[in-house]
Amino acid sequence: MIKRTKAASPIFGEAWSAIVYLCYDWPFKGERANPDVSADGAPPILVVANTGDPTTPYPGARRMVGELGKEVGVLLTVRAEGHGSYPYNRCATRVVNTYLLDGTAPGHGTTCS
């Protein structure tokens, strides 16, 4: 696995392989199933996703928003590379702070550069 990571990313592969595979073989109970996360009737739930996140890919965030339910999942798209945008991206920080402090979710399709 580590060799594949290094081959896929000559610049970051070595650093990432040490972090990504740190917990790879920990034993755990349970099964790898996709639990139902629908929350019909819940207040809006904000999902923040970077378009270039190597750890939690953007398509997964879009799926999560859909699974939460109509008018529940709200996606904030951050057009940026890397893992995490709060508090590093000013626009995302403003939107998340408004959501957390005032309870106001952004409109559907909100994007930060």
CA pair distance 99, 44, nearest whole angstrom = 9
pTM for this entry: 0.72
- Taking residue 36's Cβ as centre, other Cβ atoms within 10 Å add up to 7
Tens of pLDDT along the chain (113 residues) come to 667 767 766 766 666 666 666 665 666 666 667 778 899 999 999 999 999 988 888 999 999 999 999 889 999 999 999 888 999 999 999 999 999 999 999 999 999 99
Amino acid found at 41: G
CB of 43 within 8 A of CB of 99?
no
- Taking residue 85's Cβ as centre, other Cβ atoms within 10 Å add up to 23
Number of H-type helices and E-type strands within the chain: 4, 3
> In the chain, what are the domain boundaries?
1-27, 44-113
